[in-house]
């Protein structure tokens, strides 16, 4: 079949929950992707912040191949060594004590919500607890995760959602305080909001929320699914602020392509869960945990955090120059290799023109271009991106006139 036929077949057999671009990707190498026609794309989306190590990393691939030949799945009735090794590395990196492996970020959020509710239930014997989230947040599309997602557009068709979710504003501590009451069991925050437009938390805000939580024995949950695993220059974004959560969720780059997520908690909080409270069939299987363990090893051996720290100032400076050239671009914001460029007009056409130029970028809302490249990009890749991005902007601007 040719490209058109493949896309037509896809539209016949796949559920229409995505408006896909007319690209059929075939393979990847480093920071580049190739479609079935052989066209080369510089990838500044990395599968929505997943492929931190880039594509076709030999060491990563070989580790998975070895594990496939040994054991892929056992269920959680038994121990497996890769799960223990992977959990130890998450524990060390996050400074938390207990880890539960899931199959996705959404499932990690579900587990974090359940853990927070169980912790509160154990204290009071009452199950009617509430969670405070932030407007413009995104925590997933399952019913629990959707309930704490601060965007009504995602929610309206699926109500009633799980009750007890309240919403405050990022960097407005008073708005958080106004929502706190005796039923509040947790506050959930993305230190850097992804889908909501690449908004970063202020240090004073997170410190203030942490103080509230400590004062009232409310659990602080940080959603590190997109902003974690080195993307902001620290292994987890909260480490840039010096504010430690009681529960943390992660996924995406945790497995660098293998479907895996996790939530981690302090010993005190984790103790609330007992056998039968939560579970998963596939979570923590030997294959996905081999991926997690290998990712942590490669982050260290390939000095991934150091590369993000070195290249970020250059990336930000070049994006700032680009912003200054066009009056219809409002600002650049973000942290590390998680950057947003906000336009005063919709950016859909810019995305399409960038694809024509051989650059893959994505949106974060209608007016924000999101840049979440592999964490191995160099300054030369930044230069290439800027060149293609600028050409796409010029072409899109011409078309809109």
Low-confidence residues in the chain, pLDDT < 50: none
pLDDT at 266: 98
Q: What is the pLDDT of residue 1?
A: 80
The predicted structure's pLDDT at residue 94: 98
The class that CATH gives domain 3-53+303-400 is: alpha beta
Helix (H) or strand (E) holding 25: strand 25-29
Neighbours of 166 (CB within 10 A): 18
CA atoms within 13 A on the CB side of 80: 23
pLDDT tens sequence across 300-332: 999 999 999 999 999 999 999 999 999 999 999
Of residues 85, 65, 102, 90, the one with CA closest to residue 287: 65
pLDDT of residue 398: 58
Residue with the two structure tokens 């030999």: 58
Domain 58-301, second-level architecture:
3-Layer(aba) Sandwich (3.40)
Quickly count: other Cβ atoms within 10 Å of residue 135's Cβ.
Answer: 17
Domain boundaries, the chain: 3-53+303-400, 58-301
The pLDDT of residue 399 is 60
First to last CA, the chain: 38
């Amino acid at each position: 079949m040719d490209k058109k036929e493949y896309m037509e077949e896809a539209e016949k057999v796949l559920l229409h929950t995505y408006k896909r671009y007319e690209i059929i990707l075939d393979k990847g190498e480093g920071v580049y992707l190739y479609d079935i026609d052989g066209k080369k794309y510089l990838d500044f989306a990395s599968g929505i912040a997943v492929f931190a190590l880039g594509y076709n990393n030999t060491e990563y691939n070989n580790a998975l191949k070895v594990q496939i030949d040994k054991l892929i799945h056992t269920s959680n009735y038994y121990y497996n060594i890769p799960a223990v090794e992977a959990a130890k590395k998450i524990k060390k990196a996050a400074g938390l004590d207990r880890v539960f492996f899931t199959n996705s970020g959404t499932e990690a959020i579900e587990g974090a919500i359940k853990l927070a509710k169980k912790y509160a239930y154990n204290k009071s014997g009452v199950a009617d607890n509430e969670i405070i989230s932030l407007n413009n947040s995104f925590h997933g599309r399952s019913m629990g995760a959707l309930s704490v997602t601060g965007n009504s557009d995602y929610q309206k068709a699926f109500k009633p959602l799980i009750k007890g979710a309240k919403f405050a504003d990022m960097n407005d501590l008073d708005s958080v305080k106004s929502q706190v009451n005796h039923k509040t069991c947790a506050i959930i925050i993305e230190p850097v909001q992804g889908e909501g437009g690449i908004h970063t938390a202020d240090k004073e805000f997170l410190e203030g929320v942490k103080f509230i939580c400590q004062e009232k024995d409310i659990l602080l949950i940080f959603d590190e699914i997109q902003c974690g695993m080195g993307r902001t220059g620290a292994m987890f974004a909260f480490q840039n602020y010096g504010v430690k959560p009681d529960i943390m969720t992660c996924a995406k780059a945790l497995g660098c392509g293998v479907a895996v997520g996790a939530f981690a908690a302090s010993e005190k909080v984790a103790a609330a869960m007992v056998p039968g409270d939560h579970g998963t069939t596939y979570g923590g299987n030997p294959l996905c945990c081999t991926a997690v363990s290998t990712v942590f090893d490669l982050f260290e051996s390939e000095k991934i955090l150091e590369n993000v720290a070195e290249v970020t100032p250059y990336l930000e400076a070049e994006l700032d120059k680009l912003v200054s050239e066009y009056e219809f671009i409002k600002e650049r914001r973000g942290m590390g290799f998680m950057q947003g460029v906000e336009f005063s007009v919709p950016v859909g056409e810019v995305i399409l023109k960038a694809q024509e130029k051989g650059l893959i970028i994505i949106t974060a809302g209608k007016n924000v271009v999101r840049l979440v490249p592999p964490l191995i990009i160099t300054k030369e890749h930044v230069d290439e991106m800027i060149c293609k991005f600028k050409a796409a902007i010029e072409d899109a601007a011409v078309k809109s006139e």
